[in-house]
Every structure is written in structure tokens, then in C-alpha cells.
Amino acid sequence: MKQKKKGKRWLLWIAIPLLAVLLVGGAIFAAVYFYRPSPGGDVPFRDAENYTKDEGTYQFLLIGYDRLASLADVVMLVSVDTGSHSLAVMQFPRDTYIETSAGLGKPKINASFAYWLKHDADGNTLRAAQMLAADLEKTLCVDIDYAAVVDLDGFAAAIDTLLPGGIPIEVPYDLDYEDPEQDLYIHLPAGHNVLDGEGAEQFVRFRSGFALADIGRVDAQKNFLAALFAECRRALADMSVATLTSLLGDVLPKMQTNVSLLDAVYFAREVLRLDPASMTMMTAPGEASRSDDGTWFYQVNREDVRTAINLYFNVFDVEISDVRFDEDYALADEGDGTLLPIYLDESGKYLKVYTAAGIEGEPIPIRPKS
């Protein structure tokens, strides 16, 4: 009898720790698998009582910046709708005219980020992005839940960590440019390339050889985003929750963000499920033009931006009206005879929408300088 009791005790000593491991593992899995972000936040513009936010839609401000110049070369508003299983991206060219609470003499979106970064006591890039996000919320009548900022080194490292096999993409023609002062060296051959982190950085930064300069770069970035999305779906879509969590735990430290690891896993799983046809991309509708004093700006068009907001970025249960949108005319200089007509043009010719599926089939053509 003593032998049997001793045997039972050994079974208990093995079973109890094993059960504990299973319970803890199950709890962790359940916490990740059933987690839903709840960032909260108030309606960031007037008449809050008239607006109810859709609980299943989340918005992000993504910024890529040059650490040497402290300027934001990439500014994107991203909306993830978990109800309709869709994602929308609006890119703002770096010279986009916007009068923010920074009160700059040359009101450009990249300079606004640089201002907030310069005037932050600790040089905190996330706080600078959140200040810019607050201005965009009020002007565009959106509700930005999260911000993420990555510098060039962090971007390359994140790509290498996320996709160590690289990103297949077609380079339209030889991209060659050097600027030692910016420590910028771009040399990508025409044709099929598989870009590692450094190559991806070169591709998304190139603009000097494009006929439309920064506008061409913004379109090249759409082609890159479509290729990135396709490769992530191929490489990560069947990844287990545990492996994806570990991977994202390595990627998040490459940037400054208020997206938690649980948030990141949730959004990654949502995005990886998307059909490429439900991922839409657009440049903020408008055109590049010189102001009356000769300064180059990218001037948005009021009606087409409002249309895009209502179609793809409106997280509320009512339409953003013309009266409510950009109430303070932050997106235009009312005294500028060159820029203002672009802002007020009612032709509807500025909004161009692309899908990841469409770009996969036929990348956006980008003209080189003649």
C-alpha cells in the first residue's frame, strides 16, 4: 500500500505543475485571442453630443522622419474598420499646407512635426506626433486613437525583423541618388528586386528622379505598401498567435508608439485577414503649387478631402458636413490668390483611390524626369 501512495504522490507532483502551466498558457492565449482594444477618447471637435463613434473602427497617425533634419517625410492617416474588414490609408505630402496650433510662418505638415519635436522638453517623437494628431483631428473631423513614429534606422530594422526574406517589388527604372550631408545613398537597379530593410528605405525615400518629385515618391510608397501587404499576408497570415506575438514584440521597440503589444497583435491579425481589394490608398486630394510669395506647397482640395473623409475615415454615425469640416480654414490661406482656388475648386477631379489588389496587378506608373 505504501508503494501505491508513493506512486500517486509522484503523479500529483507531475500533474499539478503541468496543470498550472496549461492554465497559465491557456489564460495568456485567451487574453491575446479574445482581446479587443478600447482606446477611448472624446469627439475632438465641436458639437460632440451629436456624434457617436463606431466601436469597431480604429485610426492611426503614422510618421516616418529624418532624424538629421527632424522633418516628417512620411505622414499617413490609417483607418482600420474591423466591422467591414477594410483598411484605408491617406498620405499627406510633406509640403501639405496646414496651419496647426504651432503657428508656423510656413505652415507645412512636416515642419509642424519638427516644431513639436523641437519644443518638447525631452525631444519625445511620440508626443510630437500626438500634438500633430490633435491638430489633424480638429481640422479633418477624425478621431486618431494611436500614433507611431519611426526614424530611418528603425524603419530598416523593423522591415528586416518582420520580413527577413525581403519584399519583392518591381523598380520601374534605375534609382540613383547620393547626398552625403543626409547620409543618403540610393542605388536600386530597374526590374525585379527583393528589398531588405536598407533597400526598402532607399525605395521609399527616393524622389529626386521623379517628374513629380515628392508626389511621385508618395505614389511609389503606395506601390511599396501594396508589396509589403502582399508579402506579410504570404509570410505571416498562417503564423500562430504565440509566434506573431513574439515577432511583434521584437518589432515594436524599433519605433515610438502608444500601441501596446496586445493592440499590435490584435491589429496585425485583423489586417492579415483582409482581402487586398479592401485595402484602399490615396494621396490627400490636391495638387502642388507655388503660393503668391513663391513658396511651394501641396494644397489640398476642400470638397474632395471631405468626401474622402466621409467615405473612408469617418468613424462617426453622421456625415461630416461642409460647415463642420475645417472650420478654421487651417488647410488654406484665405488671402492667397494662387492656393485658395485649388482649395475651393468644386470640380471633384482631385480624389484618386487605389486598392492593394489593383496595384498588385498593375503598379502605379511613376514618370521619371525627362
- The per-residue pLDDT for range 183-204, each reduced to its tens digit, is 889 999 999 999 999 999 999 9
**Does residue 27 register a pLDDT over 50?**
no
Single out the residue of 297, 287, 257 nearest to residue 111, CA to CA: 297
Which backbone phi and psi does 7 adopt, to 5 degrees?
-65, -40
Is residue 233 packed enough to be buried (19+ CB in 10 Å), middle (13-18) or exposed (0-12)? Answer: middle
| Set of cell numbers at residue 4 | 501505491
Which pLDDT score, from 0 to 100, does residue 9 have? 64
Q: pTM of the predicted model, to two decimals? A: 0.90
State the CB neighbour count (10 A cutoff) for residue 211.
Answer: 11
Phi-psi region of 106 (alpha: psi -120 to 50; beta: other; left: phi over 0): beta
**β partners of residue 65:** 72, 151
Compute the average pLDDT of residues 360-365. Answer: 96
**Sequence-distant (≥ 6) Cβ neighbours of residue 302 within 8 angstroms:** 322, 325, 326, 331, 332, 343, 344
Q: What is the DSSP letter of 283?
A: E
Average pLDDT of span 313-321: 95
Percent of the chain at pLDDT above 70?
91
Q: How far is 261 from 140, CA to CA, in rounded Å?
A: 28
258-313 pLDDT per residue, tens: 999 999 999 999 999 999 999 999 999 999 999 999 999 999 999 999 999 999 99
